[in-house]
Chains A and B, each alone.
Chain A
Amino acid sequence: MTDGWNIVVCVKQVPDADEVSIDPETGILNRADAEAVMNSPDYNAVEAALEVRDVVGGTVTAVTMGPASADEVLQVAVGMGADNAVLLTDRAFGGSDTWPTSLALARAAEELDADVVFGGEETTDSSTGQVPPGIAAHNDWAQLTYVEGLEPRPEEDRLVAKRDVEGGYERVAADLPVVVAMEFGENEPRTAGLHRKIYAETDFEPVEWSAADIGVEDEVGLAVSPTQVGGMATAEPVPREQEMVEGVEELADHIVEVL
């Protein structure tokens, strides 16, 4: 592989978690007031994709599925250094749950002849964590989930990952093509350079693909989504016991007492 890997990174536009409120009556998320931002673990996914590219060469293509305005998250990825971007946009995608969503992303990754597909471990607006494994399942590719660090081995066409497991970590090698779900906060996402950021937000335009472009027009949308929300409930926060102490020494005494 002389010209490096085709790296795809899936990103998603979500409402800013700091600004989302929950309607206490209906339990439904009130997203209207919240600004649309890139899902936070996706920053780690983009950074990991760029780091792998820096080692093995090749290109990083950012992909998102959403309305035309979702190109803002592609601008973020391109600003950070992604080489290009694809926006999957089509009314047919509307109402898709994780099954058709991962199918569309899997087909897009296939079209892009991906060697590695990155995603964040989960999204802050639905937290299923199902999409990266779904992409792997649809394409019958290997998957590495809850990844803390990566070691590319281009000469073997393999990617070695350090995975978070209960009580420690494990190192796993996967043959390409492989889908990687990055854990939140495991690397330091790079700051976009000024000129790259200006380029991404002004002159750059992603390529747009419709459902028909990737041959999934009959396999996406609300009708083919197996998930149905049965109901919503909000949990009352449990009041925490509080106590004011006068100074550091008293606090230390209390801690010793409890221990």
Chain B
Amino acid sequence: MSTDAQSGEDAGPEPETAESEGPTMPTPQTETPNYDGEFDAIIVGAGLAGSAAALTLAREDKDVIMLERGNSPGTKNVFGGIMFTPRIRELTDFDDAPKERFVAEKTFSMLSEEGDATEISMQPGAWKEEPHNDSWMVLRGNFDEWFAEQAVEAGATLITETTVTDLVREDGAIAGVETDRPDGQLHAPTVVLAEGANSLVSEGAGLADPQHREDVAVSAKEVRKYDRETIEDRFHLTDEEGAAIHYFGDGAVGDAVGGGFIYTNKRTLSIGVVYSIEDAVHDERTPDEVLDEFKSHPAVAPLIKGGRMIEYSAHAIPEGGPEAMPDLVHDGAVITGDAAGLVLNNGLHLEGTNMAVESGFQAGKAVADALAAGRTDARALADYEDALADSYVMDNLNHYGWFLDTAAEDREFLFDDLPKALADAETEYFRMDDDSKTRHTKSARKRVVSAMGGYLGAAKKAWKYRKLFR
């Protein structure tokens, strides 16, 4: 609100006609203009992919409109997690972004159902320096709202509480969207689909196949509030430092393929589980029960004791890898982010936000170029798919795409036998009794090797999972 506007000489409207003594009368604006063709692009969803596309297009002087179903961007997102920020840092003044903590420490912890835990923890000094390995804990509600605001400041239009229900076609090409509002059709030469994991518009319009349930993960998450000191004491953090802990094994999500996590925010913890819907269907437990069991594991419970739950949510995550991805480019439309299945979850890496931003950015560039060339058919938009294929996004997805299938085959070993064997081995190795250290080591080795199916089995497994570390 500008105070200047009200203090100067010309504050207040001047009478327009000589005969009227009073203030300027409003003129009726009863006619509603028609906005068909007024925008160069319609963006479906104002999440990370949508806002990145809108921001990129607006910077290219294109008129874009984002249609968001929530009452503000980010409200439909379940993600209290790590935001990987290389592209966002380039696109925005990232210092102003609402961030929680940077990832100063990453821990992988293997939990057995019996209560054992084996952890590897890393905190490279480089992570504590700018730009902090581009890994920040954020709360999506705040972050997405800010990111969408950057697009609006660059000239994009954001319309909330508006759900896109279908696509409009003309001569086979996509020419606009249908929304849940009265007078709800809007026509534009291009549509960027950034609707998220639950990609009902893309599926309904025949651009993507309904997802197979083995390609979708379910995530249940809660955010708990604590004193800042409690969080910093428990996780040994100072200032903006944060910890990300990933949990595996049947102590995390039972027999399912998946895992649990704890992320530290400023004054809250994000605690959650992610596992495949295929497993969820066969599991007698509901996602919130799986989350509760994870929270009560002896290695987890002390970290999250107390506090107050301020948010609980469940969400779908696509993780079908490259084979499950829909065609990204169509006549008049492109698909980005989660809706395009651009999520990487292989145990070591759990990434989606960075690829959402990257795909939105590449889509925005390709759409701007196509518009400038006056063509919006699939061939004109193909640069988007090519740019993505050349980027780390497809490289990573292809490289690790095999992991989930392999993990599913080996679930018994990976999530049940291995955590138990490791814990047994540690018990043996560090056992305080009358036996010699050599004996302990031998006994410990035996436990692990036998869980792996002997030395031959261990070699086979090492070969099988070699790509994970390359």
What is the interface of chain A, defined by CB distance below 8 A to chain B?
35, 59, 61, 67-69, 78, 83-86, 89-91, 111-112, 190-199, 201-204, 206-210, 212-214
Question: Which of A68, A83, A212 interacts with B28 by CB under 8 Å?
Answer: A83
Question: Which of B22, B28, B65 interacts with A84 by CB under 8 Å?
Answer: B28
Beyond A68-B2, A68-B5, A195-B35, is A209–B182 a contact (Cβ under 8 Å)? Answer: no
Interface stretch (choices B131-139, B183-191, B221-229, B396-404):
B183-191
**B26 pairs with A207, CB closer than 8 A:** yes
Beyond A198-B159, A208-B12, is A59–B30 a contact (Cβ under 8 Å)? Answer: yes
**A193 pairs with B22, CB closer than 8 A:** no
The CA-CA distance from A191 to B159 in the complex, in Å, is: 14
Select from chain A the residue with minimum beta-carbon distance to B28: A83
Contacts of A206 in B (CB 8 A): 26
Query: What is the CB-to-nearest-CB distance from B147 to chain A, in angstroms, rounded to a whole number?
Result: 17
**A204 pairs with B29, CB closer than 8 A:** yes
**A194 pairs with B13, CB closer than 8 A:** no
Beyond A202-B157, A207-B24, is A194–B181 a contact (Cβ under 8 Å)? Answer: yes
Q: 8 more A-B contacts (CB under 8 A) besides A61-B26, A78-B29? A: A91-B3, A111-B23, A112-B25, A194-B162, A195-B34, A198-B157, A208-B13, A213-B23
Contacts of A90 in B (CB 8 A): 6, 12
Instruction: Indicate if B1 sits at the interface (CB-CB under 8 A).
Output: yes
**B5 pairs with A196, CB closer than 8 A:** no
**B6 pairs with A197, CB closer than 8 A:** no
Query: What is the CB-to-nearest-CB distance from B236 to chain A, in angstroms, rounded to a whole number?
Result: 30
**B11 pairs with A193, CB closer than 8 A:** no
**A213 pairs with B22, CB closer than 8 A:** yes
Instruction: Indicate if B179 sits at the interface (CB-CB under 8 A).
Output: yes
Select from chain B the residue with minimum beta-carbon distance to A61: B26
Beyond A194-B184, A210-B12, is A83–B1 a contact (Cβ under 8 Å)? Answer: no
Instruction: Indicate if B441 sits at the interface (CB-CB under 8 A).
Output: no
Most chain-B CB neighbours within 10 Å: which of A111, A197, A207? A197
Contacts of A203 in B (CB 8 A): 33
Please, could you name 12 A-B residue pairs with CB atoms under 8 Å apart, sorted by A? A61-B26, A84-B26, A194-B181, A195-B34, A197-B162, A197-B181, A198-B186, A199-B33, A201-B157, A207-B25, A210-B11, A214-B22
The CA-CA distance from A202 to B158 in the complex, in Å, is: 9
Q: How large is the interface on B (under 10, 10 to 19, 20 to 34, 35 or more residues)?
A: 35 or more
Beyond A61-B26, A68-B5, is A198–B65 a contact (Cβ under 8 Å)? Answer: yes
Contacts of A91 in B (CB 8 A): 3, 6-7
The CA-CA distance from A85 to B29 in the complex, in Å, is: 9
Select from chain B the residue with minimum beta-carbon distance to A16: B71
Query: What is the CB-to-nearest-CB distance from A151 to chain B, in angstroms, rounded to a whole number?
Result: 24
What is the interface of chain B, defined by CB distance below 8 A to chain A?
1-3, 5-7, 11-13, 22-30, 32-35, 65, 71-72, 157, 159, 162, 179, 181-186
The CA-CA distance from A91 to B1 in the complex, in Å, is: 11
The CA-CA distance from A228 to B37 in the complex, in Å, is: 54
The CA-CA distance from A191 to B162 in the complex, in Å, is: 10
Contacts of B6 in A (CB 8 A): 89-91, 210
**B12 pairs with A212, CB closer than 8 A:** yes
The CA-CA distance from A85 to B27 in the complex, in Å, is: 9
The CA-CA distance from A168 to B23 in the complex, in Å, is: 44
**A213 pairs with B30, CB closer than 8 A:** no
Contacts of B27 in A (CB 8 A): 84
Beyond A68-B1, A199-B33, is A111–B22 a contact (Cβ under 8 Å)? Answer: yes
Question: Which of A112, A194, A199, A213 interacts with B179 by CB under 8 Å?
Answer: A194
**B13 pairs with A207, CB closer than 8 A:** yes
Select from chain A the residue with minimum beta-carbon distance to B65: A198
**A194 pairs with B186, CB closer than 8 A:** yes
Beyond A195-B32, A209-B12, A214-B23, is A35–B72 a contact (Cβ under 8 Å)? Answer: yes
**B183 pairs with A195, CB closer than 8 A:** yes
The CA-CA distance from A83 to B30 in the complex, in Å, is: 5
Beyond A193-B181, A193-B184, A197-B159, is A84–B1 a contact (Cβ under 8 Å)? Answer: no
The CA-CA distance from A135 to B114 in the complex, in Å, is: 71
Query: What is the CB-to-nearest-CB distance from B308 to chain A, in angstroms, rounded to a whole number?
Result: 13
Contacts of A111 in B (CB 8 A): 22-23, 25
Give the 9 A-B residue pairs with the shortest CB-CB distance, closest first: A193-B183, A213-B23, A210-B12, A84-B26, A68-B1, A207-B26, A83-B28, A194-B181, A67-B1
Contacts of A59 in B (CB 8 A): 28, 30
Question: Which of B1, B23, B32, B157 interacts with A196 by CB under 8 Å?
Answer: B32
The CA-CA distance from A208 to B186 in the complex, in Å, is: 31
Query: What is the CB-to-nearest-CB distance from A71 to chain B, in angstroms, rounded to a whole number?
Result: 10
**B11 pairs with A194, CB closer than 8 A:** no
Query: What is the CB-to-nearest-CB distance from A208 to chain B, in angstroms, rounded to a whole number?
Result: 6
The CA-CA distance from A203 to B65 in the complex, in Å, is: 13
The CA-CA distance from A209 to B6 in the complex, in Å, is: 10
The CA-CA distance from A199 to B31 in the complex, in Å, is: 10
Query: What is the CB-to-nearest-CB distance from A86 to chain B, in angstroms, rounded to a whole number?
Result: 6
Select from chain B the residue with minimum beta-carbon distance to A70: B1
Query: What is the CB-to-nearest-CB distance from B344 to chain A, in angstroms, rounded to a whole number?
Result: 34
Select from chain A the residue with minimum beta-carbon distance to B38: A198
Most chain-A CB neighbours within 10 Å: which of B12, B23, B26? B26
Contacts of B7 in A (CB 8 A): 91
Query: What is the CB-to-nearest-CB distance from A46 to chain B, in angstroms, rounded to a whole number?
Result: 15
**B159 pairs with A201, CB closer than 8 A:** yes
Query: What is the CB-to-nearest-CB distance from B54 to chain A, in angstroms, rounded to a whole number?
Result: 14
The CA-CA distance from A252 to B157 in the complex, in Å, is: 55
The CA-CA distance from A86 to B28 in the complex, in Å, is: 11
Query: What is the CB-to-nearest-CB distance from A122 to chain B, in angstroms, rounded to a whole number?
Result: 23
Contacts of A201 in B (CB 8 A): 157, 159
**B182 pairs with A193, CB closer than 8 A:** yes
Contacts of B184 in A (CB 8 A): 193-194
Select from chain B the residue with minimum beta-carbon distance to A202: B157
Query: What is the CB-to-nearest-CB distance from B345 to chain A, in angstroms, rounded to a whole number?
Result: 33
The CA-CA distance from A29 to B1 in the complex, in Å, is: 22
Beyond A198-B65, A207-B13, A210-B6, is A191–B181 a contact (Cβ under 8 Å)? Answer: yes
Query: What is the CB-to-nearest-CB distance from A106 to chain B, in angstroms, rounded to a whole number?
Result: 14
Select from chain A the residue with minimum beta-carbon distance to B22: A111
Most chain-A CB neighbours within 10 Å: which of B5, B22, B27, B179? B22
**A213 pairs with B28, CB closer than 8 A:** no
Contacts of B179 in A (CB 8 A): 194
Contacts of B32 in A (CB 8 A): 193, 195-196, 199
**B13 pairs with A209, CB closer than 8 A:** yes
Query: What is the CB-to-nearest-CB distance from B196 to chain A, in angstroms, rounded to a whole number?
Result: 21
